[in-house]
Amino acid sequence: MTVFSKGITTSRQSGIFLLFLFLALLMSGCSGLQTVQFKINSEPEGAHVVIQVKRPDAPGTDDWIYMGNTPIRGVRQLDEDKTEDATITLKVMHTGYYDQVRKWDGESFWSEAVERGFIFWAPELVPQPDEK
């Protein structure tokens, strides 16, 4: 084992180099993937929440993804590069109430997510009239 003048062995130096190489590759592979925190509530609670990321350059990207029932406190990973020109839509649905929808373009979505640190929405659901 060769020892350098600063006391670092070649095997240790190689290990450090490999660690930095691994971290650089890991970061470059996930460059656009960002974690977004969501805080969604509704009045009344228990509403179903879905999200849609619709991209104009990718037909068939308009599927709705179920997030759960309100109140929601969770995270999702979204690719910032693929949502820059997208329309991001949240929809809250509850039986007996009208659906509530909130939309962002990619730029405003990321602006809110970064500035606040999370996406917050708390709609008050409007009851549908009883059909008699």
How far apart CA 75 and CA 38 sit, in angstroms, is 6
Domain ranges of the chain: 1-31, 32-121
Residue owning tokens 């308009």? 62
Q: Look up the CATH number of domain 32-121.
A: 2.60.40
Q: What is the pLDDT of residues 52-94, one digit of tens each?
A: 989 888 777 678 999 999 999 999 888 888 888 899 999 999 9
Alpha-carbon torsion 74, 120, 76, 60, what sign?
A: positive
Q: What is the pLDDT of residues 11-62, one digit of tens each?
A: 666 667 665 655 554 444 445 788 999 999 999 999 999 999 898 887 776 7
Q: Which residues of 87-110 are buried (b: 16+ CB within 10 A; e: fewer)?
A: bbbbbbebeebeebeeebebeebb
Expressed in angstroms, the distance from the first to the final Cα of the chain is: 89
